[in-house]
Chains A and B, each alone.
Chain A
Amino acid sequence: MLHSLHTCRYWILYALFSFTIIFGVHHEWVNAYIQLIMMFIGINIILSSSLNIINGYMGEFSCGHAGFMAVGAYVTSVLNVWLFASDRVFGPAVLSGNWILLLFPLTLLIGGLAAAFAGLLVAIPSFNTRGDYLAIITLAVNYIVKSSIENIQTIGGARGFMGMRKVVNAMGDVWDIPWMMIFVLIFTGFSVWVIWRFVSSTYGKGIIAIREDEIAAEIMSVNTQQMKITAFMLSSGLAGIAGGLFAHVLGYINPGSFTIMKSTEIMVMVYLGGMGSLSGSVISAVFFTILLELLRPLQVIKWVVIPLMLILLMMFRPEGIMGNREIRDFFPGKRK
């Protein structure tokens, strides 16, 4: 009872926070550049917290998260462009623009579902492979996805895919409020909520048992194969949703956006925040996204400064900002 009241309060807080942002953006208190960064923060929160399921909670090492993001990005984009925009390849819009606000979240979920199934490419080998060897498999999956997209000419191949701008404009035609910001806020909240409920249930804690001692987990009643499938599909599915949002925020995607560089960026956020800490992932996604933007004037030197920071982090605080604690652990009175 008390617990549900607490959850309720979090929701009200998040809703108030979101309304403030949407109101502010709608009345153009912040310029388009800041808005873009705010949306990237949301997307990065989804990416880092979903990767934390695998690298933090389950203790495996996945370094191909951008691959799943790409699957979601392309599936969602192609669906939306086919349905709501006139395009050279996919022809005129299939549906009237009025449907878009209803169908856009659905296409995001379909993109997430497609990415979740791509996650099986890693989940099934993970039954017998772990550690470094599984890391190599995740890397390979990242490359498989990227090269596949590069070689499908219908969706632009290496040149990339566009038309999502028209989709976003179609949303504005229905009702002129900052829709992409709204969707980013909704799905960021949704992802963090899903992950939190998963890892705090006895069911979800099965993956922590796998991290702590896989043999003991297997023998003491955890169905490790099923848990690995669940964890990988959930993680890559949420990455797919982030990909779909990313594609529509940017209006243009190409396979080059989803390379190992992008995967590394997500990994840095997870390690910076702390493995197995959901609030750590959220905080570090905010921090890291802003930092990347602040360092933009440095151009290429940025990629010297950031790895250097990572080295220092690993030397002086290898557990990350939060370790494996959550924010509420710092407020002992609030614990039940």
Chain B
Amino acid sequence: MPLLQINNLTQRFGGLTAVQDFSFDLPKRVLPGLIGPNGAGKTTIFNIVCGFYQPTTGTIDFDHHAIAGLRPNAITARGIARTFQNIRLWSEMTVLDNLCIAQHAKLGYGLWDAIIQSSKFKYREKQVHKTAMHLLETLNLQDYANEKPKSLPYGLQRRVEIARALAAQPKLLLLDEPAAGMNSSEVEQLIQLIQWIRKTFDITIWLIEHDMRVVMGVCERIVVLDFGEIIADGTPETIQNDPRVIKAYLGEQ
């Protein structure tokens, strides 16, 4: 059974159909890309998967459980984490705090433990810190642990956001246009980072991207979306030559 199984997903906002009858199977450890022109519904699909929108119809199964309709934090607790198209770090808190709070769903202690500083609190707090620091070290971000994200350059902020998503210890990582706004050396680094994360962590990545260097560089399978519907699904080579994809991107001759 695939890790993520989306069946006949439809999302309507009033009269607008943002996603139409979207079905998709994502097996473990495959790295698919989701591409399409602006407004095709890519981010909407991510927003539905992570619980921010409730789908109009359709089902989503993740890791043997139906997750459509759950609250976003419950879905993160089950193992889906994401990054955002426009970086959404908690910018007034330190990088370390950002990574600690991403483990909020798995804290396992409550207000009372925090106030009396019970042994459970101390133990968990130490673990949360350790996980965060360990991640920062593996991603080579340890020097920025006590910096605020807003003072970091753009490429690093992206890296921190990916680190924060990993701190939630997900089984599935959704990356929403990670290369947006990056210069070419940053894109190079990003491609290496994504490939490295895949090798190092036992994790499945799903990617939305416009930058073809990234898509062609890391994706094994590409799904093309246009006006909320899948118009092509296949390997990067077949997609590049698909007449419908060319039509969607370049228009008709």
- Residue ranges of A at the interface with B (Cβ–Cβ < 8 Å): 194, 197-198, 201-206, 208-209, 211-213, 215-225, 230, 234, 324
State which residues 7-45 of B face A: CB under 8 Å: none
A219-B82, A220-B164, A224-B73 given; A205·B101 CB < 8 A: yes
Q: Is B162 close to A, CB under 8 A?
A: no
A202-B101, A206-B104 given; A216·B111 CB < 8 A: no
A202 x B107 contact (CB < 8 A): yes
Q: Which residues of chain B are near A219, meaning CB under 8 Å?
A: 50-52, 72-73, 76, 82
The 10 closest A-B pairs by CB, nearest first: A212-B90, A221-B105, A201-B114, A216-B88, A221-B76, A223-B73, A219-B72, A222-B104, A221-B104, A202-B100
Partner of B125, one of A201, A212, A222: A201
B125 x A202 contact (CB < 8 A): yes
Complexed CA–CA distance, A218 and B88 (Å): 12
B90 x A203 contact (CB < 8 A): no
Complexed CA–CA distance, A194 and B112 (Å): 10
| Min CB–CB distance A231 → chain B (angstroms) | 10
Closest to A204 in B: B114
Q: Is B91 close to A, CB under 8 A?
A: yes
Q: Is B89 close to A, CB under 8 A?
A: yes
Interface residues on B, range: 35 or more
Complexed CA–CA distance, A205 and B84 (Å): 21
Q: Which residues of chain A are near B72, meaning CB under 8 Å?
A: 218-219
| Min CB–CB distance B175 → chain A (angstroms) | 14
Q: Which residues of chain A are near B165, meaning CB under 8 Å?
A: 220
Complexed CA–CA distance, A121 and B185 (Å): 53
What would 20 A/B residue contacts be, using CB atoms closer than 8 Å? A202-B101, A202-B103, A203-B109, A203-B114, A206-B104, A208-B92, A208-B93, A212-B89, A212-B93, A216-B84, A216-B88, A217-B101, A219-B73, A219-B82, A220-B81, A220-B104, A220-B164, A221-B105, A223-B73, A223-B105
Q: Which residues of chain B are near A208, meaning CB under 8 Å?
A: 90, 92-93, 97
Complexed CA–CA distance, A217 and B106 (Å): 14
Partner of B101, one of A215, A222, A234: A222
B76 x A194 contact (CB < 8 A): no
Q: Which residues of chain B are near A212, meaning CB under 8 Å?
A: 89-93
B92 x A197 contact (CB < 8 A): no
Closest to B132 in A: A202
Q: Which residues of chain B are near A209, meaning CB under 8 Å?
A: 90, 93, 101, 104
| Min CB–CB distance A22 → chain B (angstroms) | 25
A217 x B117 contact (CB < 8 A): no
A219-B51, A220-B101, A223-B73 given; A198·B93 CB < 8 A: no
Complexed CA–CA distance, A20 and B83 (Å): 55
Closest to B106 in A: A221
Complexed CA–CA distance, A213 and B92 (Å): 10
| Min CB–CB distance A42 → chain B (angstroms) | 20
Q: Is B110 close to A, CB under 8 A?
A: yes
Complexed CA–CA distance, A204 and B110 (Å): 9
Q: Is B168 close to A, CB under 8 A?
A: yes
State which residues 134-190 of B face A: CB under 8 Å: 164-165, 168
A201-B125, A221-B105 given; A234·B100 CB < 8 A: no
Complexed CA–CA distance, A220 and B50 (Å): 9
Q: Which residues of chain A are near B121, meaning CB under 8 Å?
A: 201
| Min CB–CB distance A197 → chain B (angstroms) | 5
B89 x A221 contact (CB < 8 A): no
Closest to A227 in B: B104
Complexed CA–CA distance, A198 and B114 (Å): 6
Q: Which residues of chain A are near B104, meaning CB under 8 Å?
A: 202-203, 206, 209, 220-223
Q: Is B130 close to A, CB under 8 A?
A: no
Q: Which residues of chain B are near A213, meaning CB under 8 Å?
A: 88-91
